[in-house]
Structure 1
Amino acid sequence: MKFDVIQGDIATQEADALVNAAGTSLRMGSGVAGALRRRAGSELNEEAIAKGPVDLGEVAVTDAYDLEADHVIHAAAMPHYGDGKATETSIREATRNSLERADELECRSLVIPALGCGVAGFSLERGAEIIGETIGEYEPSTLEEVRFIAYSDDEYETVRAAVDDLE
């Protein structure tokens, strides 16, 4: 499976599936979720909410609506209760479950952001390492390409350095 770190806006990416950095309620607020919601239309948020809540680390799948993808995989790396903070375990499980669900959907390509590293307060450097490790350990059945996307220049440099350290 090909694995790359790229820079850009996840809402403009073309892939079989895009991963949303979700909370357990699946309500799409700011950050990655907000970008996807604005581009896809309000139906994306409505369908996501109807499929929630989910347990921490779990995923739900919706249509991608006006995005250049077939599916959005909503990965709940942060709780919408308690302190709202992501953990190593929640990031690892949300990443693994996203990869597994993409395979179940027979996706060939997937774009994943830094789950749990925005409003959920987890260290971007450590979060990127966890996501990179989980992708590296995964044995795909249909997935051929995974792109780990970073939005800003600084985020891209941090993710790239964290993932490069794994090799």
Structure 2
Amino acid sequence: MTSIVLVRGDITQQHVDALVNAANSSLLGGGGVDGAIHRAGGPEILEACRALRASHYGKGLRTGQAVATTAGRLPARWVIHTVGPRFTHEEDRSELLASCYRESLRVADELGARTVAFPAISTGIYGWPIDDGARIAVETVRATPTAVEEVRFVLFDERAYEAFAAQVR
């Protein structure tokens, strides 16, 4: 059974097998978690992402998918990049958000990762309400068969931490 751990802090400082990056579809870096991971991991991550774009992901990574690269200088072995959906009141994109967590765990299993750190995908600039994002994240991780032993949700602020804590209880 996968244990769920909550941490308030910086995902780039987590000593885990794999860090999940809330990437944009270009895979070439951006703001928020994506920018922080690229900055802390160094040019090796960007080089690996460029190689992905030159091969299987010429048009970028689709929302809800996940793919792994080196972690560069981060204290992890791999970065699993996933593209979360933008929140909108006009369309229910919950399944795409759940897919980010499921696909990241699938990739982690393929890599042999036993510890995985996730951010609160889509709850920043993509506007997903934190309470709903936490619900989808925790429910999906609990429902997804995986060999990952520990899922660590690394939450940037107290509000996000409390939203996830309410779901883990």
Deviation at 1:128, TM superposition (A): 0.8
SS of equivalent to 2:121: coil
1:108 aligns with 2:114: yes
Q: Provide the rounded CA distance (Å) in 1 between the counterparts of 2:153 and 2:92.
A: 18
Residue-by-residue CA offset, 1:125-159 (whole Å, 9 max, x unaligned): 10110010010011223x11110110112221122
1:76 match: 83
- Identity over aligned pairs, percent: 36
Matched-pair contact (CA < 8 Å) for 2:61–2:83: yes
2:157 match: 152
Q: Describe how 1:42-57 pairs up with structure 2 within 5 A.
A: 42-51=43-52, 52=57, 53-57=60-64
User: How much is the aligned-residue C-alpha RMSD, in angstroms?
Assistant: 1.8
SS of equivalent to 1:78: coil
Q: Give the alignment's TM-score, normalised by structure 1.
A: 0.88
Q: Provide the rounded CA distance (Å) in 1 between the counterparts of 2:159 and 2:80.
A: 25
Residue-by-residue CA offset, 1:39-87 (whole Å, 9 max, x unaligned): 11133123224424012100111100100011000011137xxxxx993
Tell me the number of residue pairs that the alignment of Structure 1 and Structure 2 aligns: 158
SS of equivalent to 2:16: coil
2:6 match: 5
Q: Give the alignment's TM-score, normalised by structure 2.
A: 0.87
Q: Name the stretch that deviates more: 37-46 or 64-73.
A: 37-46
Runs of 4+ more than 3 Å apart: none
Task: Select 2:104's aligned residue among 74, 98, 101.
Answer: 98
Matched-pair contact (CA < 8 Å) for 2:24–2:30: no
SS of equivalent to 1:70: strand
Residue-by-residue CA offset, 1:102-133 (whole Å, 9 max, x unaligned): 01101110001111111111111101100100
- Where does the alignment leave 5 or more consecutive residues of structure 1 unmatched? 80-84
Deviation at 1:4, TM superposition (A): 1.3
